[in-house]
Amino acid sequence: MKRVFTFLLLILVAFTIMAAAQGGNANSQTGATTTNSNTKKKRGPVFRANKEQIKQAQAILKQRGFYNGEQTGHLDADTRAGLKKYQEVEHIRVTGTLNRETLQKMGIELTERQRTM
pLDDT digits (tens, 9 = 90+) for 58-90: 999 999 999 999 999 999 999 999 999 999 999
- CA gap 16, 7 in Å, rounded: 14
pLDDT digits (tens, 9 = 90+) for 41-52: 888 888 999 999
Distances (CA, A) of 88 to 4, 70, 96: 75, 22, 10
Confidence (pLDDT) at 26 = 52
**DSSP code for 66:** S
Domain parsing of the chain, residue ranges: 51-116
Q: Which is more confidently placed, 72 or 21?
A: 72
pTM comes to 0.63
Q: How far is CA 22 from the centre of its chain?
A: 32
- CA gap 34, 41 in Å, rounded: 14
Confidence (pLDDT) at 24 = 60
